[in-house]
Structure 1
Amino acid sequence: MSVINILLVEDEDSLANFVSEELSFEGYQVIHARDGAEALDLYKKNQSELTLIILDWMLPVYDGITVARRIRKTSQIPIIMMTARNQVTDKITGLDTGADDYITKPFDIEELLARIRVILRRAEQLALLTQQPVIYQYKDLTLDTTKHLVERFGEPIPLTQKEFELILELIRRPEEVLTRDDLLNAVWGYDYFGQTNTVDVYIRSLRNKVDYLPENRLIQTVRGVGYVLRSAHD
């Protein structure tokens, strides 16, 4: 089994020590950074060996948002954002910077471990998917699994990993209504501990990028049920 190296960025030593010990107990190798500048430095030095980043939002020197944005310029490494902020707008800000998932403080360590397992499993599945060239198209929306590329009106749309997985599930089953549980199970996995409103947060972020023209929206809400990829003009 290959070694899984995790960069943990957290300035509160007591929490960092606790999380590091739990991750080590689970067999993960942990590198700890105490501020944003150290995080970027350690990331550059260990980039080829790192598998995952657990990143606190509120950090000295550079905050987590800045760190995530800089890393996303060159890498799609999975990032879990840790934050005490629980407003939807704050969560969307985190997602827009490139975070693949978020966990709100205080949290149970089992929840964090579950999210890590799901992200790693999904990364393996997507790696296999990209080896099998498939291009999905619905109306003016195109998704290329090999290139990990989504286009609307012929223009590329930069998406986070989770946003890509969400739109992949929708475009694979166009005009079929998918419940929030369907999407949670498909994108986050059965052992995901989040609530179904997590899907709503990610869909909102995805819409801001894919449905930027109100008159051409494709991601439709089916009230009380879930979401469907369907043209509003059909």
Structure 2
Amino acid sequence: MDVLTRHLQEDVPWCMLFVDDILLVDKTREGVEGKLELWRSTLESKGFRLSRSKTEYMECNFSSNRPSEGIVTLGDQVINKSTCFRYLGSIECWPLKEKHNTKLSVAEVRMLRWMSGFTLRDRIRNEHKREKVGVAPVEDKIRESRIRWFGHIKRRPCDDPVRRVEALDLTYVKKGRGRPKKTWLENIRNDLSLLDLNENLTFNRTQWRKRIHVADPT
């Protein structure tokens, strides 16, 4: 797919290819429709078929000043509008809150009981169940994955797309009332403080992975 559409691809974030998804971005509806039609004709000329039923669009009205009107079409078919962003990523990128960690831990304990053959009546400590199964706490493994991904980001060149997103200025984005939502970088700062780590250590990949590694009980 990357080779077949190389002549159509634009710089990030205007065009991004994932495993089996394509993201096309434009400032206008007409621009999105033009890109959709161009990709459709190109893919079909190569023997592929763009699924109309799975194609969706989402409008990001950051300023909230422009009216949200109109539709996006592909040929004579109206494209479904999505009201929320379907995140393409993994747990390394989640801005986990304490309530999320609690829910994950509860589910983990239930799974440990099922795997180890114990019940609540046995009154066995969770540490003993983990030793029998041989797995570390899920919260610790999530933290390890999150900090490992942070290290990958820091080692990328400054002009890499992921570094540009990290440095994105969001001061112009209109914020809602109430307390700001917890961000991924807040999680990272807490992780670094908890493990007594310095960002500069990310450039020493061997030492970084050694310091953040969470060993499974044996």
TM normalised by structure 2 equals: 0.30
Higher normalized strand content (fraction of residues): 1
What TM-score comes out, normalization by structure 1 length? 0.29
Which protein, 1 or 2, shows the higher relative CO under an 8 Å CA cutoff with sep ≥ 6?
2
